[in-house]
Amino acid sequence: MRLRIILLLLLAAAALFSTPRWIGSTTPTEALALKAAAHNSTAYTLPPAKLKQAQGLFRTRTTLYFAGSAWSILQLLLLLALGIPARLRDIAVNATRNRLAQCFLFTLFLFGIIALLDAPLAIYGHHLGLSYGLSIQGWPSWLWDQTKSFLLAWIVGAMLILLLFWAIRKSPTRWWLWFWVPAMAAVLFGVFLSPILVDPLFNKFEPLQQSNPALVQQLEKVVARSGVSLPPSRMFSMRASSKVTGLNAYVTGVGSSKRLVLWDTTIAHATPDEISSVFGHELGHYVLHHIGLGLAFTALLLLVAFFLGQKLTQWMLGRFGPRWHIRSQNDWACLAVLLLVLNILSFVAAPIENAFSRSIEHAADVYGQEAIHGIVADPQIVTQQAFQQLGEASLSDPTPHPFVEFWTYSHPSIESRAAFAAAYNPWAEGQHPKYFLK
C-alpha cells in the first residue's frame, strides 16, 4: 500500500515538473505571432508537382504508421495464439542450463521472428523513400544498416531482459518498480554514449572546422549569444549525402559527449544564415533544459507503463496463460506478452508524448529565432526560409490532417512553424523577446 502512495507522489511531482513556465506560458508577443500565424497559409508553399508528391507521401506514410502499429500488436497475438513463444522457450531451455545463454538464445529467436514479420513494411518504407527521391541508399547498404540495428537491439535488449527476469523472480508484484531503475540507467547511458558509440556505426563524421571554417565562425557567434559551452572541436559534419537527400542539423549527447552534427546535405543546400537559424533552435533545447525535461518525462512514462504493464500481463496470463502455454511471469515466453502489452501502451501514449514534444519544439523555435538576432540580417525571413528549405527537401505536406498531426507529429507542422517565424518579431516597437534581454 505504501508503494501506491509513493507512486502517486511521484506522479504528482512529475506532473508539476512537466508543466514548467517555459513550456506552459506564452508571452504577449508570442501570442500575437501565434494568432497571426493561424491565418497565414502561404508561409510554406510547394510548387504544384511537389505538392502532389507531398500529399501522396503524407497519405502513404499515415497508412504505414497506423498499419505498422496495428501489425506490431496483431503479430504478437498471432505468435501467442500459435504457441510459438512457448516453443522457443522450450528450445532455449533444453539447449542450455545457463540463464544468460537461455536469455540470449530466446531473445535472438523472438526478435528474429518479429524482424522477419516486420520486414515487408520496412522494405516498403525504404522503397517509398527511394521512389520519392528522399533516399538514395542502395539496398545492400540499407540491409547492412538494418542488420547492425538488429544486432544492437538484440545485445542491449537481451541484457536488459536478463535484468527484467531477475527483478520478476525477486518480486513478482513489484518488479515494475525495480526494473524501472536499470531501464532508466540504460536511457541515460544511451543519451550520453550513443553519439560516441552508436552513431559512428551508421554514419561518417568529420570535423566541421576542416571543411567549413567560415561557417564554424558564424555558428560560434550563435553559441556565444546562447552562453552554451560548445567549442568548434565539437562541431561535426555528417556524410548523409551517401544515403539521404533531406536536410538536418542537431545537437546531441550530454556533458563531454555533447556535439553539433550538421548533415553535409544541409551545408550544400542551405545558406549559412539558414543553418544558423536551425542551430539556434538546437541550442535552445540545451539552454531551456529540454534534455533533462525529456528524461524526466520519459522516466514518468516508463514508470506508468511498467506499472500498467505488470497489471495487464498478470491479467492476460490469468486468462490466456494456459492456452498460450505460459506458466508464469517468470517464463521466458512471457516476454512476448510483455512486448504485446508495451506495444499497446506505447501506441496509446503516442499522442501524449508527441504533445509534450511539440510544446518543447515550439519553445526551441522561439529561442532559435531570438538567438540569431544581430547575427543574421533578418531573423524572421531567414527562419521562415529555413523551414521552407527543410519542408521542401523532405516533401512535407503543407496541410496535414489535424488528427494525424495530433497523433503522430513530434514537431509542429512545417507550415505552422514557418508562419510563426514570419510573424514573430520581438524587436518591434513595444514587443519583448522571451529568452533574451535584447
Q: Which is nearer to Zn ion, 60 or 359 (CB)?
A: 359
Closest CA to 426 of 384, 392, 379, 388: 379
Q: What is the DSSP letter of 255?
A: G
The rounded distance, in Å, linking the Cα atoms of 110 and 258 is 35
Q: Which is nearer to Zn ion, 55 or 248 (CB)?
A: 248
Closest CA to 286 of 256, 262, 252: 252
SS3 12: helix
Q: Least distance (Å) from Zn ion to the CB of residue 287?
A: 12
Q: Which is nearer to Zn ion, 208 or 364 (CB)?
A: 364
Q: Least distance (Å) from Zn ion to the CB of residue 284?
A: 8
Q: Which is nearer to Zn ion, 79 or 363 (CB)?
A: 363
Contact residues: Zn ion, CB under 5 A: 361, 364
Measured between alpha carbons, how far apart are the two ends of the chain, in Å?
A: 53
Q: Least distance (Å) from Zn ion to the CB of residue 410?
A: 9
Q: Which is nearer to Zn ion, 273 or 361 (CB)?
A: 361
Q: Which is nearer to Zn ion, 128 or 296 (CB)?
A: 296
The rounded distance, in Å, linking the Cα atoms of 350 and 23 is 19
The rounded distance, in Å, linking the Cα atoms of 231 and 260 is 10
Q: Least distance (Å) from Zn ion to the CB of residue 147?
A: 30
The rounded distance, in Å, linking the Cα atoms of 436 and 421 is 16
The rounded distance, in Å, linking the Cα atoms of 124 and 118 is 10
Closest CA to 126 of 205, 64, 76: 64
Q: Least distance (Å) from Zn ion to the CB of residue 361?
A: 5
Q: Least distance (Å) from Zn ion to the CB of residue 320?
A: 42
Q: What is the DSSP letter of 136?
A: -
Q: Least distance (Å) from Zn ion to the CB of residue 365?
A: 8
Q: Which is nearer to Zn ion, 288 or 316 (CB)?
A: 288
Closest CA to 255 of 193, 203, 315, 305: 193
The rounded distance, in Å, linking the Cα atoms of 179 and 376 is 49
- Decide: 241 and 265 in contact? Cβ < 8 Å: yes
Q: Least distance (Å) from Zn ion to the CB of residue 337?
A: 36
Q: Least distance (Å) from Zn ion to the CB of residue 371?
A: 13
Q: Which is nearer to Zn ion, 157 or 379 (CB)?
A: 379
Q: Which is nearer to Zn ion, 72 or 266 (CB)?
A: 266
E strand or H helix that includes residue 176: helix 175-193
In angstroms, how far apart are the furthest CA atoms of the chain? 77
- Decide: 398 and 415 in contact? Cβ < 8 Å: yes
